[in-house]
Amino acid sequence: MLNSTPESGRHLQPAERAWAAESVQNRLRLLRRFRHRLTTERDGILLLLHELRPRSSRGELLSSELVPLLDACRFLEQQASKILAPTKLTKSGQPAWLWGVESIIYREAIGRILILAPSNYPLFLPLVQALQAWAAGNSVWLKSAPGSYPLHERLQELFESVGGSKELFHLLGEDNTRYQSSLSQVHKVVLVGSADTGRTVLAQAGAALVPSIAELSGWDSVFIHPQANMKRAARAVAFGISLNNGQTCVAPRRIFIRGHLDSFEAHFQQAIEQRPSAPLDPDQARIVDSLEALGASVIAARKGHGPALISRVPADCKLLTEEAFGPLCVLHQVESDEEALALAEKCPYALGTSLFGPHQWSLRMAHLIPAQMVSIGDVIVPSADPRVPFGGSGRSGYGRMRGADGLLQMSQTRTVSLRKGGSMDHLSAPGPLDDLILEKFLLMTHSERLSSKVKAFGAMIGAIARERIRKRRSREGL
C-alpha cells in the first residue's frame, strides 16, 4: 500500500501504516464500537454541542448532528466493505492486443486526511468525514473551528477508549497557523466553509500540491409552481431558514414563485411565528432595512428579528446572486419557469435546490436548475441521507462527501495487472511488417465501414503471407 510520499514530512508513523494494512472489516469493527460509545455518551456530547449552538434545542441537536452522524457510521459498517472491495476487470471492453492480461483495481488508503471543521455543525460535518477517512484506512488530522476544540477533544477521548489512537485522530486545535504548517505533512484536505475561506485554503493546499475536497457556500434556490401546496411550501421554507438559526449551507435562500404570492406569505407568517427567533446582527438588519426601503415586504415573527423572509424583491436584488449567511431568505415573483431559471443561473452558487409543484414538472425542472442536490417537496432533510453524495459546483465547491462517492474519494486506486498468456510480440525487435500490421489492425477495429474493415484484414493477411514466403525462400537460399 502507498502510505507515504517522497516529500519530506509526509511519511506515516507505524500506527498509521498498521491501520492502513488492516482489513476493512477490522477497521469497521472499531467504528462500530465508536458508534456505540457515542450513543452511550450522548448526554455529555449534547451538552458540549449546546455550548456551541445555544439557540438549538436538544431535539434539534439530536436530529441535525448526532442522529445523522450515527446513521452515517452505520452506513459505512454495512456498505464500506463492498464499496472498497477490489474490482477484477472482465473481458468486456478489453482491447484485443491485451488478451491474456488480467487486471484488478484495489482501493487503498491515501494517508493523512486533514479535515478543516466548520463552526455551524461542529459534530456532524467533520466527524462524518473522519468516519469515511478511517473506513478507507487513513488517519485524521482535525483542525477545530473556534470554540469547538473541547468537543473534539472529548470525541478523541471516546475514540481512544474503544481502541483508537491519537495517531489516527490527531487534533490541531483552533489556531489557523497549525493547519497551515501541517499542509506539508498531510495527503489530502477536506474543507467545509465559505467560498472566501475556500479561496484561501485551496490556494495554500495547491501551493503544497495537496489535493482537496471542498464544500463551500450554498445560496440555495426554491421553485414554487402555481399548483403547489402553498402551506406545505411555506412551512418548509420557514423550517429551513430557522434550522440552526439559518446557519445551514443548504437552507432555502432564493425563492421563485409563480402565482399565489399572498397565500404563500400568509402561510409563511403563520409558520414562522411557531419558530424560535433571535435578533438580526447589524449587517443583516441593514440588509433588511435597505430592501424594505425599496418596497420589499419583510415577514418575521418580530420586527428586527430573524428568521425573516424578504418578499417581493426586485429581479436585480443582490441577494438573488450574493450570499448573506444567516436567518434570511428572499422571494421574487416570476411570470414563467424560464424567467426563474434565468435568474437562478445568474447566481454562482450551485449546491442544492427545492421544488414544490406537480410531480412531472418537478422532475423536468430538477435537471434544468444549476444545483447538485435536488429535493422535491422538502428542504434540507433528504440531503442528510448517508447514502447520497453531498457537494456542489461553481462557487459551492467541488468533490463529493458522504455516500459511496465520498468514501471512494477517501481512497486511491492501485491497479495490478497480471500477464497470463497472449502475445508478447512487443518484446521482440521491430519487424518489417509492424507498421503495416498495426495500421491495418487499427482500421479493422475502428473503421466505420465494413468494407474498410474487410479490405484492411485482407491487406494484413496478404502482407503476412508474403513475408512468410520471403523468409522461407531466404532459408532455402532461393
Q: Is 318 domain-assigned? A: yes
Give the pLDDT of residue 220: 94
State the pairing for strand pair 349-350/169-171: unpaired
Question: How far from 9 is each of 19, 170, 176, CA to CA, in Å?
Answer: 19, 15, 19
Same domain, 319 and 195: no
* Cα-Cα-Cα-Cα dihedral sign, residues 45, 277, 320, 252: positive
Give the pLDDT of residue 478: 57
Q: Who contacts 255 (Cβ-Cβ below 8 Å, separation ≥6)?
A: 221, 222, 224, 237, 309, 329, 330, 331, 332
Give the pLDDT of residue 285: 92
Q: Which residue shows C-alpha cell 497472449?
A: 422
Same domain, 212 and 231: no
Over the stretch 176-190, which tens digit does the pLDDT of each residue have? Answer: 888 888 999 999 999
Q: Is 391 domain-assigned? A: no
Same domain, 447 and 349: no
**Dihedral of the CA atoms 169, 172, 178, 182 (nearest 10)?**
0
pTM of the model: 0.91
Give the pLDDT of residue 5: 43
Secondary structure (3-state) at 223: strand
Give the pLDDT of residue 278: 87
Task: Supply the range of the domain harboring residue 145.
Answer: 14-216+402-415
Residue 112: exposure state from Cβ atoms within 10 A (0-12, 13-18, ≥19): buried
Same domain, 409 and 435: no
Rg (CA), the chain: 29
Q: Who contacts 307 (Cβ-Cβ below 8 Å, separation ≥6)?
A: 238, 241, 242, 245, 246, 272, 275, 277, 300, 301, 327, 328, 329
Same domain, 441 and 365: no
Same domain, 406 and 445: no
Give the pLDDT of residue 9: 61
Same domain, 199 and 73: yes
Q: For residue 11, give the DSSP letter.
A: P
pLDDT mean for each 10 residues of the chain (478 residues): 48 94 97 98 98 96 97 98 97 92 97 96 97 98 97 98 97 90 94 92 94 93 97 97 93 95 96 92 91 92 92 93 90 96 94 96 96 95 95 92 96 96 86 89 93 94 86 74
Q: Is 4 domain-assigned? A: no
Q: Which residue shows C-alpha cell 402565482?
A: 259
Secondary structure (3-state) at 81: helix
Q: Is 394 domain-assigned? A: no
Total domains, the chain: 3
Neighbours of 164 (CB within 10 A): 22
Same domain, 410 and 460: no
Q: Is 397 domain-assigned? A: no
Q: Is 393 domain-assigned? A: no
User: Taking the CA of residue 20 as centre, how many other CA atoms within 13 Å lie in the half-sphere pointing to its CB?
Assistant: 24
